[in-house]
Amino acid sequence: MVLSARLRWAVVMTGVGLVLAARPTPGPAQTRGVTLRGRVEMPRTTSLTERRPSSGDLGDGPVRDVVERRRAVVYFETAPKGAFEDREGGRVSLDQRHETFVPHLLAITVGTTVDFPNSDRTYHNVFSLSKARRFDLGRYAAGHSKSIRFDRPGIVRVFCDIHSHMNAFILVFTHRFFSVADAEGRYQIDHVPPGTYTLVAWVEGAIRDTRSVQVSAESRGVELDFPHR
């Protein structure tokens, strides 16, 4: 699989779940521009999944998680000039709850620190073998948290060494021109300067589609959809 020059990723989709995009408040250079919005048309998944029971459940009934519609990340293949002025990514959380990473899909900028709190009643061990960021946090108990700073762009696949069914995606960008689509596939990218760009729709493991879009200074907003194929 060949991806953009900014993000050369090759991964396989293994699950779906909640999403979160960590995008700090724009600086002065990002307060002007056009809003780009649209919709990535996705098939709805209606099946239910049941997680593997654990000893920490202490006789509780099975926990079922509804598999929601797949989520997409829409981003610029090449960022506009001046998009790299603010590299401070802030801090976000990727929780461990009911033997699931929440959110399942996290989109951040380079320089962001991600906290991995353990909200379960059992031990977890968060690790990744991804080239963009390899780490192993070791085992830690409920109520504890560990963190990792992400300084390179790419896709980081996250797993738990104790619970093989747990997995998550962390997408790390060198710019802020990206958007995680909502449950209906809607996305929005603000403060886009005039220019011609290649817009990429990525869906949990692979590029879904690429589109060229032209943004003019006179535009109040630009609409661009990615229909289902």
- Local confidence band at 160 (pLDDT 50, 70, 90 cut-offs): confident
Is residue 220 within 8 Å of 61, Cβ to Cβ?
Answer: no
pLDDT score at 35: 95
Q: Domain ranges in the chain? A: 19-49+64-223
Q: What does R_g of the chain's alpha carbons equal in angstroms?
A: 18
Taking only the tens place, the pLDDT of each residue in 58-100 is: 444 444 443 444 678 999 998 877 655 555 679 999 988 888 8
Lowest mean pLDDT across 48-52, 119-123, 164-168, 214-218: 48-52
CATH fold, domain 19-49+64-223, is Immunoglobulin-like (2.60.40)
Q: What's the sign of the alpha-carbon dihedral 15, 207, 12, 167? A: negative
- Closest listed residue to residue 6, CA positions, set 115, 114, 83: 83
Taking only the tens place, the pLDDT of each residue in 16-48 is: 344 555 554 444 434 478 999 999 987 665 444
Burial zone of 227 (CB within 10 Å; 0-12 exposed, 13-18 middle, 19+ buried): exposed
Residue range 146-162: mean pLDDT, rounded: 92
Residue range 103-118: mean pLDDT, rounded: 92
Q: What is the spatial distance between Cα 138 and Cα 136, in angstroms, rounded to a whole number?
A: 6
Structure tokens at 65: 């998680």
